[in-house]
Amino acid sequence: MAVFDTPITTDDRNLSKVLGQNLPIVVYLYDSRQGSNKPLEDALKDIASKHVGELLVTRVDVASSPDTHRQYGNLRTPALVTLEIPDHKVKSKAEAISSADLQAHVDYLLGKGPKPAEKPRAATSGTLHVTDATFQKEVMESKVPVFVDFWAPWCAPCHSVAPLIDQLAGEYAGRVKIVKLNTDENPATMQRFQVMALPTFMTFRDGNPVSRRSGASPQFIRELIREVQA
């Protein structure tokens, strides 16, 4: 069994390898589009070093690993999930965490503290990550208008407007469904709609395309959403 005294960064493809370790696991979910959270990152390093051999600390960037984010409930980042042995079932989870939350959940995972109280879930909804497999159901069959953000992890302009898109997802919750599609991982949908530049934004109503624009302009992102809203 490998021993790690520092957090391990993993992703959708490699998380199963991490889960193969016979140790309790702390999964830290963060969003690189929101910038670095130094206090939490420092706390993670400290916990990994302090509890080496007792648990495994992992980091997952939800911007490039939407499947893992969805698997654990699309928690508001920064978030954490603790997994107990032997089968790595979820023992606790929390969203919008602080360093104190992190320590409380680690203590609970290791049997050194009580179960932390759950925080109330935010009333607003965030963006939904879709794939080639879910695009038909989530977009084409949606009962409310949909705004689709075609993006890729390497696309700097995509990251620059991501916080605005997340904000608008909350503002228009219930009126417009705002979804993101990683074109690197879902080329079929990208080809289907002949997306040639990133970011590209499309709106749909009743399964039909309504509008389309390319380029990271906050102004026309707002315009597209405002125009298609129910």
Domain locations along the chain? 8-109, 128-228
Q: Which range among 19-23, 44-48, 96-100 shows the weakest confidence by mean pLDDT? A: 96-100
- Find residue 204's DSSP bridge partners: 146, 209
Strand, coil or helix: what is 107? helix
The pLDDT-based confidence of 192 (bands split at 50, 70, 90) is very high
pTM: 0.55
Specify the fold of 128-228.
Glutaredoxin (3.40.30)
| 147 vs 225: CA distance, rounded Å | 7
Residue 35 pLDDT > 80:
no
User: How confident is residue 38, by pLDDT bands cut at 50, 70 and 90?
Assistant: confident
Catalytic residue positions? Answer: 155, 158
Locate the DSSP E strands across the chain. Answer: 8-10, 25-30, 56-61, 79-84, 89-94, 128-130, 146-151, 177-182, 200-205, 208-214
Residue 121 has pLDDT above 70, yes or no: no
Same fold, 8-109 and 128-228: yes
Give the CATH number of domain 8-109; options: 1.10.10.10, 3.90.550.10, 3.40.30.10, 3.40.50.720. Answer: 3.40.30.10
